[in-house]
């Protein structure tokens, strides 16, 4: 993998009205951060973390709806969006969680209202369990937490983790246009792809064309998919469901009835696992409710803030959870050290 400073130049990432993009250089990683100007000074900070194959743009529909209650920033995880790959090639759940923690520690913005979707939901669950001092509230949209009976429609994504499958898929789909790829992704992620506007579809195609020019695009996808699969197999204190039980922050859970990647049936298990949780189920939503029904998700978050007024800061312990490293990584958890895609 070429160093970040010699990667090919590709088209610039788009920023929506009211958004600003900047690069943050930290030890071992460079992160692109998408932010909005707060409606007024003194608003509590919020940080949003996207899912597999996503980017900070996945939060652009939700963030402006919360301008009056939080100061919003969204990260591109290493290797996604406009963030180059991590220096150590670690795309495990812990590696991504470490990137989030490094940013929060360096920026001094914590504790934050922390959001995560899919892969990002697993990442921020690990952050909230390991570093409760960094999290005011937790909002999880279709979090990628382990399922015993995985939906058939989610199997192809999991197969990306199998050595050689991504290479085969790339060869078989070499002639696919960016438009065909986007339609496939939207059919998988949206409860009703017809909700996507023409402008939204064009923007997604342009972003796909940009990503396909990046030499690390498939590597980041494959290793992150492998990181999810590896996290599903962990037991003991590092198991994601065990960590969910340790989360102290008030938690909003959002599940879609038409989600083809995370089972709708997992909603009740999540509601039992997170000790201080509220559950929002959207029967017509797919995997990305914050993009499909941003107004509904924004209303639910505002209700979470109202319910926890004066209590969210009580979870700020000022120190990491016992037995965890302060960078959010569990000492004995195996990192994703695979070298192939």
Domains in the chain, ordered, with CATH? 18-315 (3.40.50.1820)
Which pLDDT belongs to residue 212? Answer: 87
The values of phi and psi at residue 30, to 5°, are -125, 125
Which pLDDT belongs to residue 60? Answer: 96
Spatial separation of the C-alpha atoms in residues 208 and 21, rounded to whole Å? 19
Which pLDDT belongs to residue 169? Answer: 46
Taking the alpha carbons at both ends of the chain, their separation in whole angstroms is 11
Spatial separation of the C-alpha atoms in residues 98 and 131, rounded to whole Å? 11
Which pLDDT belongs to residue 171? Answer: 54
- Provide the token pair at 105: 């520690």
Low-confidence ranges of the chain (pLDDT < 50): 1-2, 4-5, 153-162, 164-169, 312-341
Question: What does the DSSP 8-state code read for residue 241?
Answer: H
Contacts of 41 (CB under 8 A, 6+ apart): none
- Provide the token pair at 19: 């958004």
Q: Residue 123 to residues 3, 147, 180, 201, 248: CA-CA distances in angstroms?
A: 25, 16, 29, 27, 16
Which pLDDT belongs to residue 56? Answer: 96
Contacts of 112 (CB under 8 A, 6+ apart): 44, 45, 46, 47, 104, 134, 135, 136
Under DSSP, is residue 25 helix (H, G, I), strand (E, B) or coil? strand
- Provide the token pair at 158: 């999991």
pLDDT tens digits for range 51-104: 998 999 999 999 999 999 999 999 999 999 999 999 999 999 999 999 999 999
Which pLDDT belongs to residue 268? Answer: 94
CB 60 within 8 A of CB 127: no
Under DSSP, is residue 7 helix (H, G, I), strand (E, B) or coil? coil
Q: To 5 degrees, how large is the angle CA 213–CA 215–CA 220?
A: 110
**Preceding omega of 111 cis (within 30 degrees of 0):** yes
**CB neighbour class for 119 (10 Å; exposed up to 12, middle 13-18, buried from 19):** buried
CB 75 within 8 A of CB 103: yes
Selection from 77, 94, 79 nearest residue 1 by Cα = 79
The values of phi and psi at residue 280, to 5°, are -115, 115
H-only helix segments in 143-256: 155-159, 165-172, 178-189, 198-212, 217-233, 240-246
Under DSSP, is residue 307 helix (H, G, I), strand (E, B) or coil? helix
pTM of the model: 0.85
Which pLDDT belongs to residue 67? Answer: 95
Q: Look-up: residue for tokens 């209650």?
A: 69
């Amino acid at each position: 993998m070429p160093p970040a400073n010699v990667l090919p130049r590709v088209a610039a990432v788009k920023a929506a009205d009211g958004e600003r993009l900047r690069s943050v250089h930290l030890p071992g990683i460079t992160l692109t951060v998408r932010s909005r100007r707060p409606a007024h000074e003194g608003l509590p900070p919020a940080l949003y973390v996207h899912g597999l194959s996503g980017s900070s743009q996945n939060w652009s529909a939700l963030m402006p709806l919360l301008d009056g209650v939080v100061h919003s920033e969204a990260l591109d995880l290493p290797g996604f969006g406009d963030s180059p790959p991590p220096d150590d090639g670690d795309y495990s759940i812990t590696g991504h969680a470490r990137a989030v923690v490094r940013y929060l520690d360096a920026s001094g913005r914590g504790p934050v209202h922390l959001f995560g979707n899919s892969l990002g939901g697993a990442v921020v669950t690990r952050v909230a369990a390991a570093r409760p001092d960094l999290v005011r509230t937790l909002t999880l949209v279709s979090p990628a937490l382990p399922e015993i009976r995985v939906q058939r429609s989610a199997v192809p994504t999991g197969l990306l983790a199998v050595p050689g499958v991504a290479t085969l898929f790339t060869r078989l789909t070499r002639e696919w246009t960016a438009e065909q790829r986007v339609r496939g992704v939207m059919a998988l992620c949206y409860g009703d792809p017809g909700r996507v506007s023409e402008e939204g579809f064009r923007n997604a195609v342009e972003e796909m064309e940009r990503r396909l020019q990046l030499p690390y695009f498939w590597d980041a996808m494959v290793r992150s998919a492998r990181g999810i699969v590896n996290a599903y197999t962990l037991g003991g204190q590092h198991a994601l469901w065990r960590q969910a039980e340790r989360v102290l922050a008030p938690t909003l859970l959002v599940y879609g009835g038409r989600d083809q990647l995370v089972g709708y049936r997992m909603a009740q298990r999540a509601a039992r696992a997170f000790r201080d949780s509220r559950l929002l189920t959207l029967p017509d939503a797919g995997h990305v409710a914050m993009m499909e029904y941003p107004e509904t998700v924004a209303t639910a978050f505002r209700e979470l803030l109202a319910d926890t007024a004066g209590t969210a800061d009580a979870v700020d312990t000022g120190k990491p959870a016992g037995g965890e490293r302060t960078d959010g990584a569990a000492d004995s958890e195996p990192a994703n050290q695979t070298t192939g895609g």
